[in-house]
Chains A and B, each alone.
Chain A
């Protein structure tokens, strides 16, 4: 029996993503689970951001009154609403791509089962990223609807905010999946929240203008993804187009593509062992 030895060729984990239509059944799987848990999940995802909005917006807003923004006086509730909806997009995508994705990947071994079928890891990671972004978009859509009903803004430009919020979901889902790939347990995610997401929240101009920050912090904050999101979405609430829109868009796209690439590479490494 002649046995031809094949040279070992372990492909680089950094190779380009190989995405096929098989991400769709994985996405649908998550959708089917979510439909069963729809009501509790709805309450959990939307109640907290709305409580924040009401408490800070009306409570703190009464003290603050108006915020000076590029030579324009803006009611605090509008300032906060436009920032906090970006923060909600960030939080919703992060939670899903950390805790829920980790449960499926590690605890329930759902991914292992899926990859016993003709589905590549690349498709699974893509499905998880899009799923987290979808859940984030669902959350922000409902919040946006509530804001419209409350009359916080009625700008037709809000239609543009919607796809932007979808992109914000993609960005934070991708970044979160990097930490999902590195996690040994749920505890690890605490670091991500306390060391990255919480500072991001305060540095990105959600609650107060970034100009209030010391100079070096402003320099950092300028390149955070949530800053770009707020800079893009806030003017739309005021019925204006964002200044430097392309620059901020480029920042978001860079984080999305770079984040997903790194997340995929590290997940491949995790599954190679």
Chain B
């Protein structure tokens, strides 16, 4: 197995999932597991199959083949879509677009949503203050939805997904469109949930988010799994540790210059040359001869990995 993380019995398993829409193979033979208390991140370019995968996990899209299994501890495994309702009773879902009720206050949104799970009003009303506190919305309990900022709405969506005290959360781009403050607050709350033992399946376009939150990552492209593992391990496995970015007038010429020999790998993107190297010392010294160029020396990160695996080109069809 790829992952070196000690694997307890998974709570959620996807086996050999495939889906094609007409000619397009959107998801290809995809398998992964989520352990209790684990946050698994799914990253990939637009059109990589992330949302289709989530939809199949929710039983909203029927796979052509493969299985989606939910395995609660000490109980029979449940299979999507035949046990869809029983599985959803144990899931919390935050979809890409808010589907909060604009006619209701924050507290009413939680109450009404809890009823869809068949929970008695008394139990939901007991949970509402805690959920609002978790979402940092206590003072907004009776506020109408139109009074909330984007970050508040996302946190209310998260609180709503927790109303049934789920074992597993499915979050489709939970911080897209949020400002840095709102994102950090969201991250802090998600980390808290993982510490409480909840499992999370998360899709994101933000590499810092993936690196910070996820125990394990799955890189998806053209519907199939490019690699899987802990963020740091993946970076170490696929990339040289040091990156030197060079940009400014004449930077592009360096890509074909003798400097190239000082790096293991060289890439060009736009006006910037990226040198990937085991040790940047010699390269940085050589770059002193080009004072007009600006350089940035930094450790390799998840974004480098992502771009190496999925390419630097903008995709017209995405």
Footprint of B on A, CB under 8 Å?
1, 3-10, 21-22, 25-26, 28-29, 32-33, 36-37, 108-110, 112-120, 271-272
5 A-B Cβ contacts within 8 A? A22-B118, A26-B116, A109-B97, A112-B95, A119-B85
The reply to whether the CB of B101 lies closer than 8 angstroms to some CB of chain A is yes
Stretch at the interface among B107-115, B182-190, B264-272, B286-294: B107-115
Contacts of A119 in B (CB 8 A): 85, 116
C-alpha spacing A108/B153, complex, angstroms: 14
Query: In the complex, what's the smallest C-beta–C-beta distance from A117 to chain B, in angstroms?
Result: 4
CB of A116 within 8 A of CB of B63, answer: no
- If A25-B115, A32-B108, A33-B103 are given as contacts, then 20 extra A-B residue pairs at C-beta distance below 8 Å, sorted by A number, are A4-B16, A5-B66, A7-B65, A21-B118, A22-B118, A25-B112, A28-B112, A29-B101, A29-B112, A33-B101, A108-B102, A109-B98, A113-B101, A116-B88, A116-B91, A117-B116, A117-B117, A118-B88, A118-B116, A118-B117
Most buried by A among B91, B104, B116: B116
The reply to whether the CB of B53 lies closer than 8 angstroms to some CB of chain A is no
Contacts of B103 in A (CB 8 A): 33, 36-37
CB of B86 within 8 A of CB of A116, answer: no
Contacts of A113 in B (CB 8 A): 95, 99-101, 113
Contacts of B48 in A (CB 8 A): none
C-alpha spacing A9/B31, complex, angstroms: 20
Which 6 pairs, one residue from A and one from B, show the smallest C-beta to C-beta distance? A113-B99, A3-B16, A117-B116, A25-B115, A109-B99, A116-B93
The reply to whether the CB of B199 lies closer than 8 angstroms to some CB of chain A is no
The reply to whether the CB of B295 lies closer than 8 angstroms to some CB of chain A is no
Most buried by A among B16, B84, B161: B16
Query: In the complex, what's the smallest C-beta–C-beta distance from A152 to chain B, in angstroms?
Result: 36
Contacts of B113 in A (CB 8 A): 113, 117
CB of A117 within 8 A of CB of B88, answer: yes
Q: A3-B15, A110-B101 are in contact. Are A8 and B117 (CB under 8 A)?
A: no
A-contact 0/1 string along B229-266, CB 8 Å cutoff: 00000000000000000000000000000000000000
CB of A117 within 8 A of CB of B164, answer: yes
Q: A22-B116, A120-B85 are in contact. Are A112 and B104 (CB under 8 A)?
A: no
CB of A114 within 8 A of CB of B65, answer: no
C-alpha spacing A110/B113, complex, angstroms: 10
CB of B115 within 8 A of CB of A28, answer: yes
Contacts of B104 in A (CB 8 A): 32-33
A-contact 0/1 string along B7-19, CB 8 Å cutoff: 0000000011000
Total of A-B residue pairs, C-beta within 8 Å = 89
Query: In the complex, what's the smallest C-beta–C-beta distance from B201 to chain A, in angstroms?
Result: 14
The reply to whether the CB of B217 lies closer than 8 angstroms to some CB of chain A is no
Contacts of B168 in A (CB 8 A): none
Q: A22-B116, A109-B99, A110-B99 are in contact. Are A116 and B85 (CB under 8 A)?
A: no
Find residues 159-189 in chain B having any chain A CB closer than 8 Å to their own CB: 161, 164
A-contact 0/1 string along B50-86, CB 8 Å cutoff: 0000000010101111110000000000000000111
Residue of A25, A115, A117 touching B60 (CB-CB under 8 A): A115
The reply to whether the CB of B307 lies closer than 8 angstroms to some CB of chain A is no
Query: In the complex, what's the smallest C-beta–C-beta distance from A234 to chain B, in angstroms?
Result: 38
The reply to whether the CB of B89 lies closer than 8 angstroms to some CB of chain A is yes
CB of B117 within 8 A of CB of A6, answer: no
Contacts of B91 in A (CB 8 A): 116
C-alpha spacing A5/B58, complex, angstroms: 18
Query: In the complex, what's the smallest C-beta–C-beta distance from A119 to chain B, in angstroms?
Result: 5
Query: In the complex, what's the smallest C-beta–C-beta distance from B149 to chain A, in angstroms?
Result: 19
C-alpha spacing A3/B225, complex, angstroms: 15
CB of B108 within 8 A of CB of A112, answer: no
C-alpha spacing A8/B64, complex, angstroms: 5
Q: A5-B16, A6-B66 are in contact. Are A118 and B85 (CB under 8 A)?
A: yes
C-alpha spacing A4/B161, complex, angstroms: 31
Contacts of A22 in B (CB 8 A): 116, 118
C-alpha spacing A97/B164, complex, angstroms: 30
Q: A8-B64, A33-B103, A33-B104 are in contact. Are A25 and B116 (CB under 8 A)?
A: yes
Contacts of B63 in A (CB 8 A): 6, 8
Complex: chain A residue closest to B62, CB-CB: A10
Contacts of B60 in A (CB 8 A): 115, 271
C-alpha spacing A129/B98, complex, angstroms: 25
Complex: chain B residue closest to A26, CB-CB: B116
C-alpha spacing A116/B31, complex, angstroms: 23
C-alpha spacing A108/B112, complex, angstroms: 15
Query: In the complex, what's the smallest C-beta–C-beta distance from B134 to chain A, in angstroms?
Result: 18
C-alpha spacing A198/B91, complex, angstroms: 46
CB of B58 within 8 A of CB of A116, answer: yes
